[in-house]
Structure formats: structure tokens, C-alpha cells
Chains A and B, each alone.
Chain A
């Protein structure tokens, strides 16, 4: 199973309800977003004048660049497939791609808040939420992003953005099911945003007429190398945070002190 989302730009009117509903559903800080709407154009395209929207969100990529960037300790995590009854155990850091449903998720209890994953995402789909603290670690916040509303979906509800969309422009479903509406859109030509450098299998896809798709892909496709590396600073913070965790969860305010404490009092962790 691979969950995916289609945005039908022929239907989308750019009302921004999806982005605001998401803020309410997940209490996202006002200046951050798990999803967003960028207004594009009016601009000239080879197919004529165009104006459309980039309603963006996490792409839950097939080969997510955020997952290997996570510096948190690797642990074993078992995934249970309710449909088949099978389980799979993977070794994962604090962010991982769920092998059962294909979504990329964050383990909030183990996220260090270092921001390496946000830095690694070529779509800018992750941010550090300073309002959520990792109770075990403390720190400046933890990474947050679109989950495809998995907690809602698991209860049989639609993702919040899909629920509120007046245009039915957002369609959520299983891309591995050839009969799903999302798969039909893929057959019709719905594409993810990729570039020569960045083609990591995005599962949020866009469908629209030629001029709108031209405007979307020419303005909003990811740039960069596709293999962004975590910055040295973030790696350093991650390391310190791990040390701090051992030291017993002192806040970031006592960062230097915490490191010293961990050196001298190793057994308190």
C-alpha cells in the first residue's frame, strides 16, 4: 500500500481552506505550515497566460531524503499490517517510511528537534515546531510535517484538508490500488514535482491543464542536488542533544552545563 494525494488544479480555486483547516486540526503555529498554498502567476507560458496554485504538502516520497538525514539513535520498530496480519521489523531513526502504508512519519518521542530532516527535504515540507517539546529530551521543539492525517485516516476519517476542500480538488487514496481514484489520476497523467536533480518519488501529485502544469513545474519543482547533507551545526546539536538525554533531560538553556554534567556523571542517564 502506498498512500498518495492528488491535487486537481482544474478544480482548485486557490481558496487556502486546506492550509487553514490543517492548522486547526493539528494546532500548527500560525507562522508555520504542514501544508501551504502558493499563488502562481499570472505569468506567460508556452501555452498562453496562466495563473494557478501550488498547494504543497509532504510528498511521502518513495526514497525520502529526510529519513537517512535523521541523526537520532536507530531502534527496532515493528509495523503491523492489519489487512494481511503480517508484521515487519525495521531499524529506524526518529523519522521513517512506514512499510505498510508508504507514509513518512516522525516518532515524536525520539525526535531531537535538530532540524536535519527539515534541511534535507527538497520541498520544504518540514519545520521545527517550537511549541511541542519532547518531554524526554527537552530542546527547542520537534520536527513536524504532514502525516497525510494518518491518525484521522486510521479512524476512518478523511484528511482534514480533503474534508474541507469545497472544490473536491484534493483526492486521497492508495496508489498501489489500480482501481483507486488516485491511481486513475496517475493514469490520466498526474505527476509529482521532480527535477533532474531531485527525483525521489513524490506521492503527492498534481493534475491540470498544460498551461497550469507548466507554470507549476517551472516555478515549484525542487531545486538543489537532491542529496542535501545535514549541516555541521545541526549534526553538532543532535550530538549534544543525545548527550543531554543521557544526562537526564535538562533543557537547552543548560546546554553547555548538560554536556559537562554528562561527562562527569555518565550513569544518571
Chain B
């Protein structure tokens, strides 16, 4: 891929080029291009269609086509050939061109000549930037060892550099937000129960009942996933939604369980105990596939409906109703494993309970149940495994968190940074992740970064973390590079069995001086003295060789309009050796409850309310905040407040407020109150990802409140080391006055 900007592109991007440096608000962020005065003719007129796009506005990776006129990408659509998302893409997918042409994008390598957190940027050449990265990372490696470098990666392009730092430089200190602040506990909990990570693999399209614990589809949008959910509802599936808030899914539910936050495991235990006591579980499945049933049965026997109803603050009858509905539709019930599950620091046990409930209902390998699609495996090419620095693994050194997801829990890395024990960590590589808004307690992150000898950030957009970089490198966006090879099956498992392979291919040339992750990593590797270990010379070569292993190639995929489709395999059925650990002896041996157990969380202190957060349908957390189309769809994140509580406080819908938490941390920005009966009295709720403090984001900065700023109290899940982030409590501040929350 060329990163040279042609004269034509330059002219087209005139306003962007004018804005190139310094990176301040120069043009309206609305458009990167000079507008024509004539009416736009529509995306079909005078355009050519390019195929091979794979979205990365979120991680779901819908397949795209682009409409190009005069070398400008004017629209993205779902690839009509797709058997996954089809012609559909979500709001974020549709807004991808506003990321591509965002005037605030990172365009050139930058050097921070100010201080971390309060940067002053100087444009430098790639040569200078790479030399500095190589020299300074090498210096840290030589002085402190490879483990003196921590890596915070996110996204498909971060895998290759992550592997380099882990396998070649030799650091185990890699912390992915998707594991330690999101879905890692789910995978660990199911691994310890089903011996497989579940992803979101429940066959909702063919379920007779769908059970969602916190999942809020509609606000949480992943196209083929929501298609499965809607197909199930259309076919008459009963929907049970357990959520303290009347979410988009609760609004479509048959039963809304308005549960008290943190008590979900008690609810699940009571449902399971009810099924066991009344012989309403799948005895055949349990006999064939489950181990530890007797320990499990006695371990949950205390969980009566009354016990749970009191803990969960819900009617006894409702728990019975849920249990009966699940039993009467078993085994065709979709017990959704969830996605973002890092809630309260007691989450591993809840995820174990969800898996156990699935097994009790026999909802494995059957229509509507837990079914893993059989997609083609395409092996990635990366750095050869070698010196991963296992002896420096912080988890093993501390003898903690035996069920940690891959990598090192973020908190252990920050601890080492702040104490220098068991060893110092003095360099940090942050690639596509924004730990400032993904990891709780921002002060600890700032302190950890301040003591570094070198901080490298690689990203597409400025974020709150890039303000802490010494060197900031601009990466090509998902529309400008080869990358991840997406594989999967037809979206509805009951349809004709098919498999697809869709490598991400560039729809346009990379703009400015943006480069892809393989090139950047290789250039740094050479300068650190590891040039001899480079496994692949370009991203294109990497993708081509990976495709070659399944008898495909980039040329072939271009001929096939970006997606290769072949016959698939029936995903239904259960392997004879599929084993469910209802009671897990290994967990018990490690000193944790071997039978799923409810562990109470801290109660809301008087005068406060619990802060709960979730997804906005138009944003992927903070990554999309500066997207001008998405911003205008939801400019701020209103804080949901129960209507009766609001009345007592004298607050009205639309009032402007800020928040202060129980550790006296105040939000730096404001938002508006959303008064509604659709939320419990003991919580407030807001969309995550707003309130960025990086003023280089001319659209997204200071819009709404950054909930992460208020999540300062740490709750670490004892089995996994993951962060629970719903144990923080807030009050409202209006017109400078702090308002207590009435009981």
C-alpha cells in the first residue's frame, strides 16, 4: 500500500491537508472534503463498487462493499454476497467513512515535546520516529529485561505487534481490555465448566426461549447477532430479560426481571435449585455429560426462591415463572453467555452458574441452545513462539488468579509499575487500546505512565491515552489496509450449512503517512535488533500466505467479490466426550468455590446511588466519539434516573448535572438527566465512552460524562483478576450543589 498522497487526493483532501499540522481544530469536523454545490446524486450514480471490506467500527467484522466516486469513498454497504450480515450494516458501520475522512485523524508520526498528559506535538519523519522507538525500547529491554515493557493492545491489527513483544522481546505483561475489562471472565467461566470459550454462540434464531442476563440488544448491536435474536422473537420465542433497567431488550421481553445489581448469581442458583428439586432438569444430558452433580445439588440446596427473592429484590413468583418457562421450553433455550461481563468482582461464579444452567436444561448442541458454528480455521502467521518470559509472569509470581484470561491482569501490571515490585516496568506500548477509558481508576493509570521511561502509542485517532505518548504513530484504518481474515458460517444455523472466508482488503489507499501494523512492527523490530526474526514482510504477504493455507489467495478473493463461500458442516449435536463440570474440583483445590456460589457485593452507601453503564447503539465506546454522524445521533450520554427519585430530588428531565463519586472524584464534564420509570431506584445508568478529555477531538471532546472517570474503587474478580466496574457510587451535582440520593 502506498502512503503517498497523490495530487488529486491532496486536492480533494485540501481541508484535511490544511489541517495537517498542528492538529488543532482548523476545519469543521463535518467534512474532510471541499463540498460541491450541486446536489449529491446518490451513491449509485457515477460510482464504482469495491469489494473486500471488513468492518472494524466494532469487533464483529461485517463484510462490506464501498462505493467510490472520483477516488473518494462515499458510502459503505453490507456486501450483498455476505451470508453473515448480508446487505445490512449498523449505524457505526454506515459511519465508517467519517472515520476515514475525520479531519482530526492522526496523520503523521508525532513526538511529544511537552509532557505526558499535557502534550505538545511536533511532526517528525517516520525514520526519526522509528529510530527513537527502536532505541528507547531496546534501552529498556537491556536495562530491565523484556518484562520491563508492558503492552496494551486492542483490535485485529494489534495482534502482530503484541506477538512480537511477547514472543521476541519476551514480556508476559500484555493486557487486553477485551479480556480484563470485558469478556475474559465469560471465557474463563465457561472454560472451567464446558472446557470451551462460548463467544456469543447461542442459537437464538431457533430458540423457544431466550434468556438474557444484562444483554441489551438494540443498544448493543452486532448485525448477525441481532438478526438471530430477532428471528427467534419473530418465530415466537419467549424472551426473559434480567436487568435493573428497562433496556431495549427488556422492552421486547415477556418477563422483565428488575434485579438488584450484583445479585444475579443468587437468582441463577435459585432457578437451578428449583429445577433440580422438582426434577425439571434434563436428567439424560446430566447423566451423559455432567460431572459433580451430587456436590452441585447439595451446594446449591440453600438457594430457595424466598432466599433469592429477598437478595435480588424481586418477587418470588417471578423466579418461579422464569424457571418454569425455561423448563417448559427446554432444551431449546438460549442462555446467553453475555459479552461485557466485568461487573462486580464476583463474576466468574456467575458465568459458571450460567453455563451450569445451560447444561441442566440440556441446552447444548440442540436447536436454540448453545451451539458453536463450524467455521473454517485459518491459521495466522506471526512471530515464532519462544521467550515469552513466563518466569516473569506477575500472576505466577504472586500466586494469584489461576483462571485469568490470557495475558496479565491490568492491575498486576499497574501494581508493578507503581511499586517497582516484583520488578520495574519502564516502557509501555499502547496499540489501539485506550486504557484511560477502559481501565478503572484513571489516576493509577496516569501514575503508572508517568514513571515510564518511554511510552509509544499507535492509533488511528487521538484518544485520552494518546495524550500520554512520547511517540505517537498513525496507523492505517480498517478501510485502508489488508488485515484480519474473518471466517464464519451462515447467520442462521438452521439454514443451509455454509462457511465463508473474508479477508479484510483495502477499499482505498492509506491517506497521509498512515502505515499498517506489520510495517510499523517490522521497522521497530529491525531497530531493536530483531530483524532476523521477522516472519513476514508485509501485511498483504501475511494475508496471502494465510489464505494460501486454505487454498485461497487475495487474487482469488478479489475474483469472488471479497467473500469465499463453500459448503459447511452441521453444527448441531454434542460430542460424546463433551463434559460439564457442575462441580469443578480444580477450582475447589485452588481455594475457590467449586460449586457456583453467590458472593454479595458492597451495598450502596446512604445518600449515594450505584453507577451502572452500558452500550450506546451508535458508539463503540470511546472509539467512535469523534465520528460526526454518530455524535449528532447521540451527542451526550444522559444519566438515567428513576422518576420517583428524581421527583424527591427536584430534578427534571433534561436538567444539566455533573456527578461526584464516594471517593470524592468529580466528573470534569456535565450531562443531562433522563427521568424515567424504567430503572431501579438504587442505580443510575449511562452509556460508556463519552466525555473524552483530548481536545484534539474537535467533535467528541468534553461531550457527556466519562463514566470511567468515576469508577475509581477497584473490585477484582478473585479467580480471574479481571476488573469489576459496577461497584462505584455517585451523587448528583446541580448548579454547584451536591444532591444526596434519597433512599
A residues adjacent to B (C-beta < 8 A): 10-11, 13-17, 19-21, 23-27, 29-31, 37, 41-44, 49-52, 108, 131-133, 135, 142, 149, 151-152, 155, 157, 160, 163-167, 212
Selected from B35, B94, B676, the residue in CB contact (under 8 A) with A17 is B94
Tell me the nearest residue of chain B to A157, going by C-beta: B44
Q: Is the CB of A13 within 8 A of B217?
A: yes
Q: Is the CB of B89 within 8 A of A164?
A: yes
Tell me the nearest residue of chain B to A28, going by C-beta: B40
Identify which of A10, A14, A21 gathers the most chain B CB atoms within 10 Å of its CB: A21
Known: A13-B218, A24-B43. A132 touches B630 (CB 8 A): no
Q: Is the CB of A20 within 8 A of B633?
A: yes
Q: Is the CB of A25 within 8 A of B678?
A: no
Give the chain A neighbours of B557 by CB distance below 8 A: none
Selected from B45, B87, B226, B631, the residue in CB contact (under 8 A) with A15 is B226
Tell me the nearest residue of chain B to A13, going by C-beta: B218
Q: Is the CB of A42 within 8 A of B246?
A: yes
Selected from B42, B88, B252, B676, the residue in CB contact (under 8 A) with A25 is B42
Residues of chain B from 153 to 193 with CB closer than 8 A to chain A in the complex: none
Give the chain B neighbours of A41 by CB distance below 8 A: 246, 251, 676, 678
Known: A23-B629, A42-B678, A167-B226. A15 touches B91 (CB 8 A): yes
Question: Whole-angstrom distance between the alpha carbons of A183 and B224 in the complex?
Answer: 28
Give the chain A neighbours of B76 by CB distance below 8 A: 24
Give the chain B neighbours of A10 by CB distance below 8 A: 252
Q: Mark B227-257, 1 if CB is under 8 A from A, else 0.
A: 1001000100000000000101011100010
Q: Please tell me if B97 contacts chain A, counting CB pairs below 8 Å.
A: yes
Residues of chain B from 56 to 95 with CB closer than 8 A to chain A in the complex: 74-78, 85, 87-95
Known: A24-B97, A132-B37. A19 touches B91 (CB 8 A): yes
Selected from B38, B88, B677, the residue in CB contact (under 8 A) with A42 is B677
Q: List 13 A-B contacts (CB under 8 A).
A: A13-B217, A24-B43, A25-B75, A42-B677, A42-B678, A50-B251, A51-B246, A132-B40, A133-B37, A151-B44, A164-B78, A164-B88, A166-B90
Report A110 CB to chain B, min CB distance, Å.
13
Question: Whole-angstrom distance between the alpha carbons of A44 and B632 in the complex?
Answer: 27
Question: Whole-angstrom distance between the alpha carbons of A15 and B256 in the complex?
Answer: 21
Question: Whole-angstrom distance between the alpha carbons of A163 and B89 in the complex?
Answer: 9
Selected from A24, A49, A132, the residue in CB contact (under 8 A) with B74 is A24
Known: A11-B234, A20-B94, A24-B94. A30 touches B677 (CB 8 A): no
Q: Is the CB of A151 within 8 A of B42?
A: yes
Q: Is the CB of A43 within 8 A of B676?
A: yes
Question: Whole-angstrom distance between the alpha carbons of A131 and B38 in the complex?
Answer: 9
Give the chain A neighbours of B146 by CB distance below 8 A: none
Q: Is the CB of B38 within 8 A of A135?
A: yes
Report B229 CB to chain A, min CB distance, Å.
8
Question: Whole-angstrom distance between the alpha carbons of A106 and B91 in the complex?
Answer: 27
Known: A14-B617, A151-B45, A163-B77. A30 touches B38 (CB 8 A): no
Q: Please tell me if B664 contacts chain A, counting CB pairs below 8 Å.
A: no
Q: Please tell me if B321 contacts chain A, counting CB pairs below 8 Å.
A: no
Give the chain B neighbours of A42 by CB distance below 8 A: 246, 251, 676-679
Give the chain B neighbours of A43 by CB distance below 8 A: 676-678
Question: Whole-angstrom distance between the alpha carbons of A44 and B679 in the complex?
Answer: 12
Q: Is the CB of A166 within 8 A of B85?
A: yes
Q: Is the CB of A16 within 8 A of B226?
A: no
Q: Please tell me if B39 contacts chain A, counting CB pairs below 8 Å.
A: yes
Report A116 CB to chain B, min CB distance, Å.
19
Give the chain A neighbours of B246 by CB distance below 8 A: 41-42, 49, 51
Q: Is the CB of A17 within 8 A of B632?
A: no
Report B339 CB to chain A, min CB distance, Å.
16
Question: Whole-angstrom distance between the alpha carbons of A21 and B252 in the complex?
Answer: 25
Selected from B39, B42, B45, B252, the residue in CB contact (under 8 A) with A132 is B39
Q: Is the CB of B41 within 8 A of A15?
A: no
Q: Please tell me if B429 contacts chain A, counting CB pairs below 8 Å.
A: no
Q: Is the CB of A16 within 8 A of B617?
A: yes
Give the chain B neighbours of A135 by CB distance below 8 A: 37-38
Q: Is the CB of A16 within 8 A of B618?
A: yes
Tell me the nearest residue of chain B to A19, going by C-beta: B633
Known: A20-B91, A24-B75, A131-B35. A15 touches B221 (CB 8 A): yes
